[in-house]
Structure formats: C-alpha cells, structure tokens
A = this chain, B = another copy of it.
Amino acid sequence: MVGIKDVAKRAGVSIGTVSNVVNRPHVVATATRNRVLSVIQELGYVRDESARQLRAGRSRIMALLVLDLGNPFFVDVARGAEEAAHAQGINIITCNSGQRVETEASYLAMLAEQRVRGVLLSPVDTGGDAMQAFRRSGIPYVFVDRKVPADEASSVSVDDVAGGALAARHLLETGHHHIGFVNGPTILTQCRDRDAGVRSVLTGSGARLSGVEAVGLDVASGRDAGARLLGMSPRPTAVFCANDLLALGVLQAMVGAGVRVPDEMAIVGYDDIEFAGAAAVPLTSVRQPAFRLGRTAAEQLLAETEENPPPHRQEVFTPELVVRESTRVRR
C-alpha cells in the first residue's frame, strides 16, 4: 500500500511537503505542488485516515444508530440526518440495530472505539451496560425520537403521548366504544408513551380498551396481532396500532379474514409512512416529521461537536393526525 513516504521519495521532496500539498496547498510553490500532485495521481496515493485521526485525535465521521431500517420512518430520519451532515461536508454512516440489544451494544462499542465525531442515537435500551459505557466515552451524542433529561444530552423527539391521545380521541369521535390497541414492545419509550396517551383519553370516556402487545414493530407482528384481535369476543370495532407497519399487518389480517375496513374494523396507524396512504385501505395515521427529526438532530449534534458547544436542547415536535379511508365514517 502506497504511503506518503513513497510519494515524497518519488517526487523528491520531504514528507512534510507532501502533507502540505494535500492539506494546505497554498503554502507550497506551484511547481512543487504540481509535481507532487502528479506523483499522487500516478501512484494512486490515498491517505490513511486512521493515521490522520490518530494524530488529530478526532474523527471526521458521524454515525446514526437506528432502531430499525426496515421501518421507513427511520429511513426518513436517516435522510434528514444525511442532508444536514452533507451540507457541512461530513459523511454519516448508518448502523442498524434491528431492535436487538446485543447488536446495539456491539455497534455502540465499535463507535466508541472508532472515536466517531458524534452519534445520533435511537436506542432500544437506554439504561444498559453498553449505553453506560458509551456515555463515559465522552463522544457527543444526541437522541433522536426519544426524549431524555436535559442534563444528559440533547434530544429531538415527537410528543408520543400527544400522538397516542390524538389517535384515541379520533376513534372516540368517530363513534367507537370498544377500541383495540396493538402496541409494540414496551421496552421502547415510544410505545409506553403512546400507550399513556391512549389511556389518558380513554380513561373515564366509557369506552373499553383491549390491549395487545405485538412482539415486534413489523408487518408480520401486525398480522399476528390482527389474528389475536379477530379472536376476541366481543371484538373491538376499531384498533390503534403503535406503528404503520403493525397497522398494515393488521389490515392484511382483516382483509384476509373478510372483515371490512373501516366498517367492521377501523384502523389507525402511526408514523404516516409513504406506504400508509397506498395501502389496500388507505390508512389513517399519526404523522411524525421524520425528515425534520433527523435533520434537526444532526444539526444539533454538529453544533455540539464544534469548538464551543451550545447547551443541550430538548426539541419536541407535535404529531398530526392524517385521516384517510381506514377510519372514514360512512352514512
């Protein structure tokens, strides 16, 4: 592998000069610069970032550690983060934990060892050993889609309690008295918060709530939950799902069983992913500003990795209900 030394020797200059050509071209004379540049071309020299970083003490890479890339919501978050980072010439690498605690831990360890510039975090497990160790590493991080106490770190999130409430209220207003709630794993704050929102609205409303906890937050888990819903008697007349993927799964189960949506079963999803509007029955969903979430978080993180970091901030966006066929009231 060709290094700066080879270039120096071949161009008949010192190592320092080659380094200058690469990093501060203006300080070296035009003739020398061109000679060195052409040798670099000729030899195909690529500088070694690990050496550079070892010297500099800091990396030029930011990372995004994401709960589940299979969820288009997070893909949009990633896009937003990428946009913000690229605008400042920083590359973002994405790590997908797939909601597995061990995978997450392994990525956290890797990122710490890598001395990454900063990390955008949407962790499964905020309290675990891996996360504790990561905190101590001193690498700046910002939580995405999860709120944390202000003294720990910045966060950019969406008010999930409000989102859950929004969905529940909508179902009440469209005349339902028995509502199913397909929630995801309650280890996730998002799920607990949405649950809290639902309960805050339903408690004392006279409506009945039937909860189902899905094993995952994907379509397959949704189909599964749908089947369980179908087995209930009395069966709820409407269901709120913690996630559009779950909602799509539930919808598939309903269609498969010949249960008409929304007439026999209204469905509300969460996230308003692009596919929600294109579903067999277009889904009513609680929209989150995913792209902005990612962008805002990345901007904050970038700011916090600068010389004089600004104080931590907790940004909370407000979700919005998008009504479609799946809860339309027919008269």
Contacts and interface: CB of A to CB of B under 8 A. Distances in A.
B113 A46 contact: yes
Contacts of A282: 280
Interface stretch (A89-97, A161-169, A208-216, A300-308): A89-97
Contacts of A219: 274, 278
A44 interface: yes
A110 B117 CA distance: 14
Given A278-B280, A279-B279, A280-B280, A49 B95 contact: no
A50 B107 CA distance: 16
Copies in the complex: 2
A267 B277 CA distance: 18
A91 to B, nearest CB: 5
A106 to B, nearest CB: 6
A211 B82 CA distance: 33
Nearest to A278: B248
A48 B54 contact: yes
A72 B273 CA distance: 12
A207 interface: no
B278 A44 contact: no
A313 interface: no
**From A50, A114, A137, A138, residue with most partner B Cβ within 10 Å:** A50
Interface of A: 1, 44, 46-54, 57, 59, 61, 63, 69-70, 72, 75, 78-79, 82, 86, 91, 93-96, 98, 103, 106-107, 109-110, 112-115, 133, 136-138, 219, 248, 251-252, 274-275, 277-282
